[in-house]
Amino acid sequence: MNEAFFDKKEYKPLDRVDGRLKVTGAAKYSAEYPLPNMAFAVLVGSRIAKGTIKSIDSKAAERAPGVLAVISHLNAIKVPGYQPKGEHPSEPSTNGQPLRVFFDNKIVSNDQPIVAVVATSLEKAQYGASLVKIQYIKEQHKTDLEANAGDAKLAAAAKKNPKSPTADYDRGQKDAFESAPVKFEAEYVLPTEVHNPMELQSIIAHWEADNKLTVYDKVQGTKMTQKNFAKEWDIPEENVKCIATFVGGAFGNGLHNWPHETAAIIAAKQVKRPVKLVLTREQMFTMVGYRPRTWQKIQVGATRDGKLVAINHQSIGQTSSYEEFTESTLMQTRMMYASPSVSTRYRILPLNVATPIWMRGPGEATGAFALESAMDEVAHAIGMDPIDFRLANYTESDPDKNMPWSTKYMRECYEEGKKRIGWKNRKLKPGEVRDGEWLVGYGMGTGTFGANRGPATVHAELDKEGNLVMHCAITDIGPGTGTAMVQIASNTTGISTDKITFHLGSSEFPNAGLQGGSSTVNSVGPAVLAACNALKEQLITMAAAKGNSAFTSAKPDDLMFNKSELQLGGKSAKTTLADLFKQNNLEKIETTNESKPDENRNKYSMNAFSMHFAMVHVHPFTGQVRVKKIVCCADAGTIVSPKTAESQMIGGATGGIGMALTEDAVMDHRFGRYVTKDLGDYHVPVHADVPDIDVYFVNKPDLLADPVGSKGLGEIAIIGVAPAIANAVFNATGKRVRELPITPDKLI
C-alpha cells in the first residue's frame, strides 16, 4: 500500500486549474461551439398533462421567415432505437421506457416536448414556435402525490429481487416499536426540487456523415451518452462523439439522456445541418428531471435513557408513468444508528409527470430530513442533548451489511462541530436564547453516502521537458475534477502542478463512468495514480538499463521529480529527465492504465460521512429565518484538493439552505402544471441567505476504499443540512416544521 506516500506529502490548496478560463469566458460550454451553417431548434411543450394530440397546425410556422422545419410525431424521421418495448439504454434506476420524443401522439406529462421548430436563428425559431397551434384530447390526469398515495407500489426491481435496495427490509423484532418505552411517530414531506444549475441544458447535434454523429452536450457522462446514442441511432459506438469539456453545474440532471437531446439529433438529421438546442429555464423544470416529491413516515422507539429500540421508516416518492425512478431514501436508516430493530418500506407512485432524476445527495438527503429530524424530536422528548442521543446509538460497524466500516471518523466530527458552532450556548429547552428580538437556535444533522468507486482509465504522457499530460473521458460538472487530478499526479510524481494538464470531457478519451454519486476522485484518482506510477516504473527501468545501479531495485514510490531531476528516496539526484530521454532517444513516454474496485468492497462497508451544524435566528413575529452560521464536518477520506473540496462543501451547504428554507416547485394539480418555474418564483438561496460556512475535514485516508484514500464528497455536502436547519429552527422557536421549505408563513 501507499501509506508512506501519504505520510510524506500533504495536499495543499490549489486554485482551479481552469479558473482563469471560466472567469474570462474562454471556457466553452456545450452551446458555445460556433459550427458553420448552424440551425436553431426550439421545443414546444404540451399544455395538458395527459391525453393525445388531436392536431398540429404548423402552416403559419412553416411559412414564417427562416423556419427550416417543424418537426413532430407527424413527420419525424424514424429513430431506429425506438423499440416498442425497448428497455432504457442506460439507466438501471429509471427502469422502463424513456420518453420517445416525436414518437406518437401520446401526452404523458405537462410540457412534454411535442414539436421542434428549427430555423436559421434562435429568434426565428422562437417566433415560429409561437405560431404552432396544437389541439388535444384531454384525459383525466393524476399529479398529486398525497391524493394518490394509495396507488403507491413496490418498484419492479424490488419485486424481482428481495435483496434490492428498494425492497422491504426488516431487521430484529417485528413489533419492537410497539413495546418501546418511548414511542415517536411523525410524517415528513419534501417538495419537488429542481436542480437548476446555472447553465441551461444544451446540445449541438452534428451529423458529420450519415452514420457519424458528434454532440456537444451538457451531460455528466460522455461515454454513457456515446453508448446511448449509438444504440438509439443504430450506429457503431466509435461513430458517436460526445464533447462536454465544460459543464456549468448539473447536480444530477445530466445523469440521463433526455428527450431534448434526441430532438436535436432528429432535427439535425432532418434539416441536414448542425442544430443547437438550448432549453428555457421553464423547460428545466419539466424536461430534465428533478428531486421527486416524497412523503415519509417514521416511527422511532427508544428507552428513556436514550437507547434506540426500533426505527420503522416508509416513504413514497413520485415517478413518471413510464419510468420507475428509485433512490436510496431509506438506506441510511438501516445503518446510521445502532437500532436492534429496523424496518423500511420504500414505495414509488407513478403519476402523469416527467421522470425524476438523482439530485445532489439523491435519496439520502430526502431520507435524512426525516431521520435526522426524528432523532432530534426523540432527543427532545426524552430531554437529552441530540448529540449525546446520537452518540449513545453510534454504530461501530455496519448493522445493515454486517461488515466493519472501512473507516468511520464521526466522533471527530461531533467534537469539532460542537466546538466550532458553539454548541455549549445551546439550551435544551427551545425558545430560551435571544439576540434582541430574534430567537436563537442550534441544530445539527448527519449524513452519509456510499464511498462509490467504478473502473476508470487514464492515459498519461510525459515529455522530455517534464510536462505531464493526461486524458480521461470523465466530465467535470464543477467540483474541480481537473484540479484534483493534477494534484494527485503532482503528489505522486513531484512534478509541479503548472506542468501537469488533465484533459477531460470527451468520449474520445479513455473510459470513465459518470460524474455522479461522489465517485470521481475515488474512481479516476486511482487511475491517475496508476498511470503516474507506471510512468515512474518506465523511468526506473530506463535508468537501471543505463547502468544506474541505484535504480535497479527501486519502486515507483521511491522515485520523485525534483524540478527536472529524478530523485530516489530523498537521496541526491542520480539522473535528469533530459539525460534519460536523450540516452534512450525518446521524445516522450506514455502509458494507459485502468484502475478498478477491489475485493475489499466485499469485506468492508465503505461510506463517507457528514455532519452539519446550524445556528439560526428566527423572528418570532414575522417568521423570517436567518441562518447565521453553518459548520460542515466531513469524514470523506483524503482531501486531495483542499480548496475545491471546501468549495464543494460550501456549495452543498448552500443547496441545503435552499432545501430547508426556500426551494419549492409548486404544481397546480388541476392542470398538472408547475406554477413556480423560473428563478424569480423558484427560490434558490441568494447571497443574503448564505452565512459564513465553516468547513472541517477529518482528512484521514481510507486506503481500503481506494489507493487515493478518498471517500467522495459531493453528495454528503448537502445531506443533513436541511434537518440541521429544521432542528435549529425548532430549538429557536419550539415549532417543528415537517414539510419543507420552512417559509415565514409556517412559523408565525
Partner 1 sequence: MIQFQYERASTAKAAVNALTNNANAKIIAGGTNLVDLMKRNVMAPTKLVDINALPLREIRQQDGKISIGAMALNSQVADDKLIIEKHPLLSQALNAGASAQIRNMASVGGNMMQRTRCHYFYDTALPCNKREPGSGCGAMEGMNRMHAVFGTSEKCIAVHPSDMCIALVALDATVLVTGPKGDRRIPFEELHRLPGNQPEKDNNLQKDELIISVEIPDNSFSKNSHYMKIRDRASYAFALVSVAAALNIEGKVIKEARLAMGGVAHKPWRLKEAEKALVGKPATEETFRQAAEIAMQGAKAYKHNAFKLKLGPNVIVEALKNAAGLV
Q: Does residue number 25 form part of the binding site for partner 1 (CB under 8 A)?
A: no
Work out which of 680, 693, 715, 732 binds partner 1, going by CB under 8 A: 680
- The three-state (H, E, C) secondary structure of 29-58, written as one string: EHHHCCCCCCEEEEEEECCCCCEEEEEEEC
Kindly state the DSSP code that residue 425 receives in the 8-state scheme: G
Any residues with CB less than 8 A from the CB of 593 and at least 6 apart, and which? 457, 458, 460, 527, 530, 531, 534
Stretch that binds partner 1, among 17-25, 289-297, 610-618, 671-679 (CB under 8 A): 671-679
Those residues whose C-beta lies under 8 Å from the C-beta of residue 93, and which sit 6 or more positions away, are 325, 326, 327, 358
Cβ(314)–Cβ(374) below 8 Å: no
Q: Applying CB under 8 A, what is the total number of residues that bind partner 1? A: 35
Check residue 123 for interaction with partner 1 (CB under 8 A): yes
Q: Is 435 in the site for partner 1 (CB under 8 A)?
A: no
Q: Which amino acid makes up residue 697?
A: F
Burial of 564 (0-12, 13-18, 19+ CB in 10 A): middle
745 binds partner 1 (CB under 8 A): yes
Taking CB under 8 A as the criterion, the residue among 673, 711, 735, 738 binding partner 1 is 673
Helix (H) or strand (E) holding 463: strand 456-463
CB of 668 to partner 1, least distance (A): 5
Grid cell of 373 as nine digits: 429530524
Phi-psi region of 232 (alpha: psi -120 to 50; beta: other; left: phi over 0): alpha
Q: Which is the catalytic residue, given 324, 327, 646, 715? A: 715
Closest CA to 296 of 346, 251, 257: 346
Interaction of residue 281 with partner 1, rule CB under 8 A: no
Distance in angstroms (rounded) separating the CA atoms of residues 620 and 316: 33
Q: Pick from 150, 162, 436, 547: which binds partner 1 (CB under 8 A)?
A: 436
Among 348, 460, 589, 661, binds partner 1 (CB under 8 A): 661
Query: Grid coordinates in use for 96?
Result: 422502463
Q: Between 107 and 608, whose beta carbon lies closer to partner 1?
A: 107
Would you count residue 662 as binding partner 1 (CB under 8 A)?
yes
- Three-state secondary-structure class, residue 633: strand
Instruction: Candidates 203-211, 245-253, 686-694, 722-730: pick the segment binding partner 1 (CB under 8 A).
Output: 686-694
52 lines the binding site for partner 1 (CB under 8 A): no
Strands 575-576 and 565-568: antiparallel
Q: Helices in 382-519 by DSSP H: which ranges?
A: 386-391, 410-421, 481-493
Which of residues 139, 170, 237, 437 is near partner 1 by CB under 8 A? 437
In the set 126, 173, 583, 584, which binds partner 1 (CB under 8 A)?
A: 126
Report residue 507 as a C-alpha cell: 468520449
* Chosen residue from 22, 28, 47, 231 binding partner 1 by CB under 8 A: 47
Per-residue x/- mask for partner 1, residues 725 to 744, rule CB under 8 A? Answer: ----------------x-xx
The three-state (H, E, C) secondary structure of 701-743, written as one string: CCCCCCCCCECCCCCCCCCCHHHHHHHHHHHHHCCCCCECCCC
By beta-carbon proximity to partner 1, the closer residue of 556 and 741 is 741
Q: How far is the CB of 130 from partner 1 (least distance, A)?
A: 6
Q: Is 359 left (phi over 0), alpha (psi -120 to 50) or beta?
A: beta
Identified binder of partner 1 from the candidate list 671, 734, 736, 739, rule CB under 8 A? 671
Nearest approach in angstroms of CB 748 to partner 1 is: 5
Nearer to partner 1, 168 or 689 (CB): 689
Stretch that binds partner 1, among 81-89, 238-246, 676-684, 718-726 (CB under 8 A): 676-684
State yes or no: residue 685 binds partner 1 (CB under 8 A).
Answer: yes
Give the whole-angstrom CA distance, residue 684 versus residue 656.
Answer: 10
Q: Is there binding between residue 676 and partner 1 (CB under 8 A)?
A: yes
3-state secondary structure of 381: helix
Cβ closest to partner 1, residue 734 vs residue 744: 744
CB of 133 to partner 1, least distance (A): 13
Please confirm, yes or no, whether 715 is among the known catalytic residues.
Answer: yes
Closer to partner 1 by Cβ: residue 110 or 493: 110
Q: What is the largest CA-CA distance in the chain?
A: 84
Minimum CB distance to partner 1 smaller for 60 or for 182: 60
Residues 607-646 that bind partner 1 (CB under 8 A): 619, 621-624, 626
Is the Cβ of residue 108 or residue 531 nearer to partner 1 in the bound state?
A: 108
> CA distances (Å), 470 to each of 310, 532, 592, in order?
51, 10, 9
Q: Which residue's CB is nearer to partner 1, number 46 or number 166?
A: 46
- Give the interface segment with partner 1, choosing from 236-244, 475-483, 538-546, 658-666 (CB under 8 A): 658-666
Gap between the Cα atoms of 140 and 488, Å rounded = 56
Q: Identify which of 457, 405, 458, 449 has the alpha carbon closest to the alpha carbon of residue 600.
A: 405
Q: In angstroms, give the least distance from the CB of 666 to partner 1.
A: 6
Closer residue to partner 1, CB minimum distance, 240 or 661? 661
Nearer to partner 1, 117 or 357 (CB): 117
* Residue 542: strand pairing partners: none
Pick 126 or 583: Cβ nearer partner 1: 126
The residue (of 362 and 651) whose beta carbon lies closer to partner 1 is 651
Q: Which stretch binds partner 1 (CB under 8 A): 313-321, 639-647, 667-675, 709-717?
A: 667-675
Strand pairing of 607-618 and 625-635? Answer: antiparallel
- Asked whether position 578 contacts partner 1 by CB under 8 A, the answer is no
Q: How many other β-carbons are positioned within 10 Å of the β-carbon of residue 431? A: 17
The reply to whether 686 sits near partner 1 by the rule CB under 8 A is: yes
How far is it, in rounded angstroms, from Cα 195 to Cα 248? 12
Who contacts 684 (Cβ-Cβ below 8 Å, separation ≥6)?
Answer: 196, 658, 662, 663
Is residue 146 at the binding interface for partner 1, with CB under 8 A as the rule? Answer: no
Least spacing, CB of residue 226 vs partner 1, in Å: 35
Residue 668 in contact with partner 1, rule: CB under 8 A: yes
Stretch that binds partner 1, among 51-59, 307-315, 341-349, 660-668 (CB under 8 A): 660-668
Taking CA atoms, 22 is separated from 498, 640, 646, in Å, by: 17, 21, 18
Per-residue interface string for the shown chain with partner 1, residues 58-97, x marking contact by CB under 8 A? ----------------------------------------
In the complex, what is the shortest distance from the CB of residue 68 to partner 1, in angstroms, rounded to a whole number?
18
- Nearest distance, CB of residue 560 and partner 1, angstroms: 50
> Beta strand pairing status for 113-119 and 692-697?
unpaired
In sequence order, what DSSP letters do the residues of 585-609 get, joined into one string?
T-SEEEEEEEE---GGGGTSB-EEE
540 binds partner 1 (CB under 8 A): no
Which positions are annotated as active-site residues? 715
Contact residues: partner 1, CB under 8 A: 47, 123, 126-127, 130, 436-437, 619, 621-624, 626, 661-662, 666, 668, 670-671, 673, 675-676, 680-681, 683, 685-689, 741, 743-745, 748
